[in-house]
Amino acid sequence: MYGNDFSAPDDATGGGLLGEVEAAEAELRAAAARQRRGGPAPDEDLAAYFTAVVDAEQKIEPRDWMPDAYRKTLIRQIAQHAHSEIIGMQPEGNWISRAPSLKRKAILLAKVQDEAGHGLYLYAAAETLGISRDELVRLLLDGRQKYSSIFNYPTLTWADMGAIGWLVDGAAIVNQVPLCRCSYGPYARAMIRVCKEESFHQRQGYEILHTLSHGTPEQQAMAQDAVDRWWYPSLAMFGPPDGNSTHSAQSMAWKIKRFSNDDLRQRFVDMCVQQAEILGLRIPDEDLRWNEERQAYDYTQPDYDELMRVISGDGPCNRERIARRRAAHAEGAWVREAAAAYAAKRAGQKEKVAA
Amino acid sequence: MEQTPLWEVFVRARRGLSHTHVGSLHAPDAELALRNARDLYTRRQEGVSIWVVPAGAITASSPDEKDAFFDPAADKVYRHPTFYEVPDGVAHL
């Protein structure tokens, strides 16, 4: 059933964020259809050409000239995003064998498989910038590139699967929908694909929480406990406040990023309040209230010192996550070697037949 | 170990449409590339046919080629039907 979410793109209930993804896709096609500039003129300044393409909302493609810093920023960002998808399989994978029914198990398996797929789309996009897959994997395993801080928190109960879907995937979607309009073509296209699939993730999480919160008092309490634990780490996913965000201004100018961290965080909070009411669950923030003047909710900021600690390696599960990834990579070596040996053997046989 | 080869993946969404590039992946040989492409790019019935092509086998024109590669087509407006004036009253043309 969960496949239907994707194969019916005209579904009117899709609205909201999914609607925005489709708008971004339409915009991408429209921009491509507009009078398109060819390559730069022989005597044209390459930097000026790059800026003109970006300002005209056209996409930069892999073989276009681009500033070194733009390339580096994209590699860092896309790689970090890919690593997050790969590490993100762990907290949920933790519950596959203990899902409460066969249906829930099948859904969770499909979701974790999606995360692997998202990681691969993104690695492929990063590789178009001239970095190799092996290098990217190495950077993750050596801890020289980061992944999202959120995956360093433990998944203690089944309700965490619901809270991750609703809050973590919800925050990820708010963050990622604007990336569908990123100036770098391969990243924008990968994000459109990711966001469409991500919406099933968010809905399945919401459904888990809704079922629990309308169940027994124990189930209700378990759902509330999960929301209590995941709320602030989810808010922290949007990164440090605008004043302290090192990469923001330049990324905005390059149209890699479209909105500031704080704007996106506010948008997420405003979305969640009504959704929480329907769930019958409480957002753990005494100071959460509607601000008529700002036409937005006032809310308590997450603990940014904690965010920095978790990013720098000192979260509840950092060591466990990286150790597990290293072990999986090492234990999978024989599969890669066997596949390569088999491919070499077959190539050898073909040559013999040809000769 | 040598890097596993890179493959470009093209998917035909429905009968009657052309194959469209959807992304790339690594696989040791063509057969596994095809299977991996099925698992990676068509988990939700996005296609009825897949092509995989070794990335190294693709020769691409360069966007910043100095001698403008596509220029020869730019001054041949007479290749478009709108170049020709049709007298009033002519039908079926």
Q: What is the DSSP string of A87-151?
A: HTHHHHHTTGGG-SSHHHHHHHHHHHHHHHHHHHHHHHHHHTTT--HHHHHHHHHTTSS---GGG
Secondary structure (3-state) at B81: helix
Asked if A64 and B63 come within 8 Å (Cβ–Cβ), the reply is yes
Report yes or no: B21 at the A interface, CB cutoff 8 Å: no
Give pLDDT, residue B78: 85
Please tell me which of the candidates B4, B23, B64 has its beta carbon nearest to residue A40.
B64
Report yes or no: B14 at the A interface, CB cutoff 8 Å: no
Residues of A whose CB is below 8 A from B68:
38-39, 42
Contact A238, A265 (CB under 8 A): yes
Residues of B whose CB is below 8 A from A38:
63, 68, 70
Phi, psi dihedrals of residue B23, rounded to the nearest 5°: 155, -160
Would you tell me how many other CB atoms lie within 10 Å of the CB of residue A210? 18
Cα separations (Å) of A111 from A116, A149, A351, B26?
9, 20, 42, 22
Distance, CA of A120 to CA of A134 (rounded, Å)? 13
Asked if A120 and B44 come within 8 Å (Cβ–Cβ), the reply is no
Report yes or no: B48 at the A interface, CB cutoff 8 Å: no
Give the count of alpha carbons within 13 A of A87, CB side only: 28
Contact A289, A232 (CB under 8 A): no
Burial class (CB in 10 A: 0-12, 13-18, 19+), A353: exposed
- A61: CB partners within 8 A, 6+ apart: A185, A186, B63
Phi, psi dihedrals of residue B10, rounded to the nearest 5°: -125, 130
The candidate with the shortest Cα–Cα distance to A104, out of A92, A96, A116, is A96
Q: How far is A275 from chain B (nearest CA, A)?
A: 27
Contact A173, A226 (CB under 8 A): no
Judged by average pLDDT, the poorest of A7-16, A80-89, A291-300, B59-68 is A7-16
Please tell me which of the candidates B3, B26, B60 has its beta carbon nearest to residue A63.
B60
- Residue A127, pLDDT > 50, answer yes
Spatial strand order in the sheet of B20-26: B20-26, B6-12, B49-54
- Joined together, the tokens standing for residue A211 give 């079922």
* Mean of the per-residue pLDDT values of chain A: 90
Q: How far is A336 from chain B (nearest CA, A)?
A: 8
Distance, CA of A102 to CA of B7 (rounded, Å)? 35
Please report the ipTM that was assigned to this predicted complex. Answer: 0.79
- Joined together, the tokens standing for residue A114 give 């999606």
Q: How far is A124 from chain B (nearest CA, A)?
A: 6
Q: What is the mean pLDDT of residues A284-300?
A: 97
Contact A188, A59 (CB under 8 A): yes
Asked if B64 and A343 come within 8 Å (Cβ–Cβ), the reply is no
- Joined together, the tokens standing for residue B29 give 């040989």
Which DSSP category does B77 fall into?
Answer: G
Please tell me which of the candidates B24, B40, B64 has its beta carbon nearest to residue A65.
B64
Q: What is the mean pLDDT of residues A240-257?
A: 85
* pTM, to two decimals: 0.88
pLDDT band at A2 (very low <50, low <70, confident <90, very high): very low
Strand partners of residue A141: none
Would you tell me how many other CB atoms lie within 10 Å of the CB of residue A308? 14
pLDDT band at A3 (very low <50, low <70, confident <90, very high): very low
- pLDDT tens digits along B18-47: 999 999 999 999 999 999 999 999 999 889
More confident residue, A2 or A125: A125
Q: How far is B89 from chain A (nearest CA, A)?
A: 32
Which DSSP category does A351 fall into?
Answer: H
Contact A73, A248 (CB under 8 A): no
pLDDT over 70, % of chain A: 92
Q: What is the mean pLDDT of residues A251-267?
A: 93
Phi, psi dihedrals of residue A291, rounded to the nearest 5°: -110, 105
Which DSSP category does B50 fall into?
Answer: E
Q: How far is A229 from chain B (nearest CA, A)?
A: 32
Distance, CA of A65 to CA of A37 (rounded, Å)? 14
- pLDDT tens digits along A15-38: 577 788 888 888 888 877 775 566
Please tell me which of the candidates A61, A340, A346 has its beta carbon nearest to residue B1.
A340
Phi, psi dihedrals of residue A9, rounded to the nearest 5°: -65, -20
Contact A101, A286 (CB under 8 A): no
Distance, CA of B21 to CA of B13 (rounded, Å)? 11
More confident residue, A191 or B93: A191
